[in-house]
Amino acid sequence: MKYEEKSLKRKAAELRIEIVDMITRAGSGHPGGSLSAIDLLTVLYYSIIKVDPQKPDWNERDRFVLSKGHAAPAIYAILADLGFFPKEKLTGLRQFGSILQGHPDMRKVPGIDISTGSLGQGLSVAVGMALAGKIDKKKYKVFALLGDGEIQEGQIWEASMAAAHYNLDNLCMAVDHNGLQIDGKIEDVMNPSPIEDKFISFGWKVKSIDGHSLKEIYDAWNWARSTENGKPSAIIAKTVKGKGVSFMENVVGFHGKAPTKEQGREALDSLKKALNGVK
């Protein structure tokens, strides 16, 4: 698929507005990690992944696993924009009876391939999907997005070992490396560094990028998707928690706290100005 810088930049700006708006309305949610991940997901869904909003269960589609399930607002904004479900449903985030709960539910939300939320489990599911694709001789790719705090979980490394052992070169994984988790800096809580070296030692091909450079993201997803040498691919994307909203950037408190109504208005004003400034 083609890379179009301006359209992707505009789309990412629009999606940031949706994320902040729905979390502010809900008065609950995880803005920091949703905003840090949205550039990675924008490029993936608008330039890379093979899905069909009219046929969300299409057997030949690529699969996506949001292992860091608390970043659900980011994927909800994208799926609604693509037409998997009506945009009006975004206003129901985290409301009783809504399909859009705090973590993705595959039974309720079209376009969600697996329910996630318990950190550390998503990569195992992605490995299972990729292995099934190999066994069934399918051409689909499996994409996954992990948090850098999440890779403190031991299950991540069991899954990583399995992915390399079974030569899952149809598995494309990215780590949203924003450096912060709910309890503070990842290096203080349980330092996973050097992340790149760990995945290399487990038998993965690894590429490090700026997780807010749309061109680097596009090149990296393409690199991961086209790799067919028997190794799974890992993209380590350096990002900024709360990217795009100045008072949220690199502030650990906004990992899982919604902005106040006043903060939400301030954030939306700045995001709309940023959108209008896209050239």
**pLDDT tens digits for the chain (279 residues)?**
678 999 999 999 999 999 999 999 999 999 999 999 999 999 999 999 999 999 999 999 999 999 999 999 999 999 999 999 999 999 999 999 999 999 999 999 999 999 999 999 999 999 999 999 999 999 999 999 999 999 999 999 999 999 999 999 999 999 999 999 999 999 999 999 999 999 999 999 999 999 999 999 999 999 999 877 899 999 999 999 999 999 999 999 999 999 999 999 999 999 999 999 997
Which CA distances in Å does 68 have to 28, 51, 123, 151?
A: 17, 21, 10, 10
At residue 33, the 3 state secondary structure works out as helix
Residues 76, 38: Cα–Cα separation, whole Å: 11
Backbone φ, ψ for residue 173 (5° rounding): -120, 145
Position 1 scores a pLDDT of 61
**Given its phi and psi angles, is residue 179 left (phi above 0), alpha (psi -120 to 50 degrees) or beta?**
left
Helices (H), 112-260: 122-135, 154-165, 186-190, 195-201, 214-226
Return the residue matching tokens 């499996």: 142
Residues 27, 150: Cα–Cα separation, whole Å: 24
Which CA distances in Å does 131 have to 51, 138, 151, 166?
A: 19, 10, 21, 7
Position 275 scores a pLDDT of 96
Number of independent structural domains in the chain: 1
What is the pTM for the complete model shown?
Answer: 0.97
Domain that holds residue 53: 5-276
Q: Do the beta carbons of residue 150 and residue 117 sit within 8 Å?
A: no
CATH number at residue 67: 3.40.50.970
Q: 194: cis peptide before it, omega within 30°?
A: yes
Beta strands of 133-272 (E only): which ranges?
142-147, 171-177, 180-181, 184-185, 205-210, 233-238
Which CA distances in Å does 20 have to 91, 97, 150, 230, 243?
A: 11, 21, 23, 40, 11
Q: Do the beta carbons of residue 252 and residue 241 sit within 8 Å?
A: yes
Compute the residue count for the chain: 279
| Exposure b/e, 163-188, CB count within 10 A at least 16 = b | bbebbbbbbbbbbbbbbbbeeeebee
Position 227 scores a pLDDT of 74
* Pair of tokens at residue 73: 């607002």
